[in-house]
Chains A and B, each alone.
With several copies, the nearest count.
Chain A
Amino acid sequence: MAIRVQAEDFDVGAELAALSDGNPSVGGVASFVGLVRDIAGGDAVSAMTLEHYPGMTERQLAAIEAEARARWPLDGVLIIHRHGRLLPGDRIVLAACASAHRAAAFEACWFLMDWLKTKAPFWKQEETPAGARWVAAKREDDQAAERWYKRTP
């Protein structure tokens, strides 16, 4: 289980290396780093504050990791998500999957990002010239998450 929720930044190179260290059956590591953008909905964003629900956040991220491990043959999974006040260009999140097979690593990593976007209890508030505003959930994020639901007969 490798879920971390923290205010501090993280070292992407060290984290990715640790996912395969000592396990030479890993053929590849797919990852995604999410960053704070300086523009949203056409408005300049000078900072972003991430609120979260301590306890539930870790619980939901762990459930998403468990689901990924059940669906794909993974040698390692890592999710690090920051909270607190961040500036444009700052890292927000790292999701990474190590596998013997590159398709499994890519799919599982993309799945982690799509599901955590709609399931992990974080809320973004942006600072713009017009004042602070809460980010609204995006319909495209719901659709991206729904791609991964298993069809039941």
Chain B
Amino acid sequence: MRILYFAWLRAKIGTAEEEVAPPADVATTGDLITWLQSRGPTYADALANRAVVKVAVNQDYVGLDHPLAAGDEVALFPPVTGG
């Protein structure tokens, strides 16, 4: 599963992109964030406030109960500020 990070989430976590293989019980986007938070203090810090973490799966916005499949492209980022 590929995970992309943008803006200050990318800066805090220290990478723009990584391949991860979460355990089988990580079934939803919410589960994935919980699992990522367990990977170390930088993750825990970056993902601490879920209200400012937006999630996209395969380039569409989803909620925290969205089911995950093996080949998904998951992106985590702050609220957008374009325009």
Contact = CB atoms under 8 A, between A and B. Distances in A.
Interface of A: 34, 50-53, 55-56, 59-60, 81, 92-93, 113, 116-125, 134-138, 141
Given A121-B77, A123-B77, A56 B82 contact: no
B53 to A, nearest CB: 12
Interface of B: 4, 6-8, 10, 56, 59-61, 75, 77-83
Nearest to B56: A56
A52 B82 contact: yes
B79 to A, nearest CB: 4
Given A53-B4, A93-B82, 7 more contacts: A92-B83, A122-B80, A123-B77, A124-B82, A125-B7, A134-B81, A135-B81
Contacts of B79: 118, 136-137
Contacts of A121: 6, 56, 75, 77, 80, 82
